[in-house]
Structure 1
């Protein structure tokens, strides 16, 4: 994949980051396709999402999808 974006989400505490991580991680295998792939990593209270894409359009679509899922996880989790 030729294009990459790394999104970092910093939370007040590791428990909040772990809650969002657990919620979003369930979607990793479901959403990956031929043009995009995402990876999720957590270091203490920081959640990092790496999105690899074949082209800029796929990268933008992947970023929109994953940031929306993180936002929903935060809202539902009360974070």
Structure 2
């Protein structure tokens, strides 16, 4: 899956994070768990988008500046890791 990055004038900095899983079900569960955060943790300096294609999860982070981009990447990686941990505990 190619990243769905589309930076614009409001968010000129972006990065695409890609997570691949052995099982499509795990990708769906993790994706659904983190997707509810889109729009909830955004601020005036960053935003994100979550998409899934089969066993791959993509999180695109957009930011107004590089400090906000770093913070957004750290936040979304932690959210995905937490969802993965919970998913593996539930299995």
TM-score bracket relative to the smaller structure? over 0.9
Spell out structure 1 runs of 4+ moving beyond 4 A.
none
Task: Quote the Cα distance in structure 1 between the aligned partners of 2:78 and 2:40.
Answer: 15
Figure out how many residues of one structure are paired with residues of the other and give that number.
79
Could you list the runs of 5+ residues in structure 2 that have no partner in the other structure? 1-10
TM-score by length of 1: 0.96
Which structure carries more helix by proportion? 1
Partner in structure 2 of residue 62 of structure 1 = 72
Structure 1, unmatched stretches of 5+, are none
Q: Greater relative contact order (Cα 8 A, min sep 6): structure 1 or 2?
A: 1
Higher strand share: 1
Instruction: Confirm or deny that 1:8 pairs with 2:18.
Output: yes
Query: TM-score, normalization: structure 2?
Result: 0.84
Q: CA RMSD in A?
A: 1.0
